[in-house]
Amino acid sequence: MADTYASDPEWADITPIPLNDGSESGAMPLATIAYPDEYLDATSYLRAVMAANEMSERALKLTENVISMNPAHYTVW
């Protein structure tokens, strides 16, 4: 895998879905969490494969990666 999912050719067909903290609608979030860039990248692709209901080997590897970064991420389980 490349350094990020965004730079990995295996993921070129997926459009990542970024984290929506509500600020795009004009709302000011009470507190934002400063996630590491690697985690934001991975979870953006996780949201995209979940939205597409993709069940593949690459999606499984992605979930493993997200779990390794945040074992408490209940949605990925």
pLDDT in tens, the chain (77 residues): 568 999 999 999 999 999 877 777 777 777 778 899 999 999 999 999 999 999 999 999 999 999 999 999 999 98
Q: Tell me the per-residue pLDDT of 19-32, one tens digit each, with 9 for 90 and over.
A: 877 777 777 777 77
Residues 22 and 56 sit within 8 Å (Cβ to Cβ)? no
Query: Could you tell me which residues come within 8 angstroms of residue 28 by beta carbon, excluding any fewer than 6 positions away?
Result: none
Q: What Cα–Cα distance (Å) separates residue 22 from each residue in 31, 54, 68, 75?
A: 11, 26, 27, 19
Query: Could you tell me which residues come within 8 angstroms of residue 65 by beta carbon, excluding any fewer than 6 positions away?
Result: 42
Domain boundaries, the chain: 1-7+34-77
Query: Could you tell me which residues come within 8 angstroms of residue 72 by beta carbon, excluding any fewer than 6 positions away?
Result: none
